[in-house]
Amino acid sequence: LEVTLVWHTPDPEFQCALAARRCYSSKPYSELVEELRSNPARVQELLRRVIDVDKALDVIEHAVFMFHVEGLSRVTSHQLVRHRHFSFDQTSQRVVNVLKEDFIIPEDVKKDPELLEEWKNLWEHSKRVMEISLQKGIKKQDIRYASLQGSTTELVFTANARALMHFFYLRCSKEKGGYGGAQWEIQELADKMLDKVVSVCPTIFAKIVES
Ligand SMILES: Cc1cc2nc3c(=O)[nH]c(=O)nc-3n(C[C@H](O)[C@H](O)[C@H](O)COP(=O)(O)OP(=O)(O)OC[C@H]3O[C@@H](n4cnc5c(N)ncnc54)[C@H](O)[C@@H]3O)c2cc1C
């Protein structure tokens, strides 16, 4: 499972702090910028206040992040796309050759050699059915009905920090500050995404808040 942070709002914490400060000051834009540029600690203080005290998470909507994910199962992409404030694009099985997709076998299955063999047979059978269908001229949009939910997919998606905070709360592991009840693969995805955004927004994502 490969997660790439493709792009994010430049200087995201500064922009969010600027939005927060706008609420409490009548200074013109240039003075607000100067006030915050000359005092980075003030940026952190403002952000913690709006998140922890005011619960004004609209302020962090000004920070936007675009991700690329590959090697995620379609089981988990179904769960991911339930997050309605994210914007998605996903590889189309109507267009790409589904035979090129990989297949995820859960670790617990791998521990049982006999069961693992059954899973591998299932995957081989699914691939064979798709291959024969392709040779017989069946359209890709129909062949995909024979693909398995464990097949891997690629997506790009964009989300703001508020939508991410909610996602991290629901989907991250307990160790990372989520509530820890989500399924293992989406936990792995959420934890990896959190690591990426913490590196650019250490104050906003210093802790996951229930939102
Ligand atoms: C452990 C776990 C188990 C799950 N099991 C199932 C399951 O068995 N079956 C299943 O179908 N789903 C399941 N889900 C998915 C879950 O029900 C949500 O669809 C998913 O977590 C998205 O979160 P969300 O609904 O809070 O909203 P998001 O889409 O992430 O939106 C964030 C917030 O925006 C607000 N919002 C968004 N859209 C609306 C709207 N139309 N009206 C009002 N407010 C809105 C809400 O406050 C919402 O919490 C599960 C999720 C988890 C974490």
The mean per-residue pLDDT over the stretch 69-94 comes to 97
Residues 6+ apart with CB under 8 A from 45: none
% of the chain exceeding 70 in pLDDT: 100
**Residue 73: how many other CB atoms lie within 10 Å:** 23
**Is 71's C-beta closer than 6 angstroms to any atom of ligand 1?**
no
- Average pLDDT of the residues of the chain: 96
- Give the single-character DSSP code of 25: -
Residue with CA nearest ligand 1 atom 20: 82
Q: Is the Cβ–Cβ distance between 190 and 167 less than 8 Å?
A: yes
**Is 120's C-beta closer than 6 angstroms to any atom of ligand 1?**
no
User: What is the pLDDT at residue 48?
Assistant: 96
- Give the position, in ligand 1's atom list, of the atom nearest the Cα of 183: 1
- In this model, does residue 156 exceed pLDDT 90? yes
How far, in Å, CA of 93 to CA of 100, rounded?
11
How far, in Å, CA of 194 to CA of 175, rounded?
12
- In this model, does residue 98 exceed pLDDT 90? no
User: What is the pLDDT at residue 157?
Assistant: 98
- Give the position, in ligand 1's atom list, of the atom nearest the Cα of 79: 15
Under the banding of pLDDT at 50, 70 and 90, the label for residue 211 is confident
Buried residues in 117-153 as b, exposed as e (16+ CB within 10 A)? eebeeebeebbeebeebeeeeeebeebbebbbebbbb
∠ Cα 81 167 151 (to 5°) = 40
Residue with CA nearest ligand 1 atom 28: 83
Candidate from 59-73, 91-105, 133-147 with smallest mean pLDDT: 91-105
- Rounded to the nearest angstrom, the distance between the alpha carbon of 75 and the centre of ligand 1 is 16
- Rounded to the nearest angstrom, the distance between the alpha carbon of 208 and the centre of ligand 1 is 17
User: What is the pLDDT at residue 97?
Assistant: 80
Q: Is 84 a catalytic residue?
A: no
pLDDT digits (tens, 9 = 90+) for 2-35: 999 999 999 999 999 999 999 989 999 999 999 9
The type of residue at 42 is R
Under the banding of pLDDT at 50, 70 and 90, the label for residue 142 is very high
- Rounded to the nearest angstrom, the distance between the alpha carbon of 14 and the centre of ligand 1 is 30
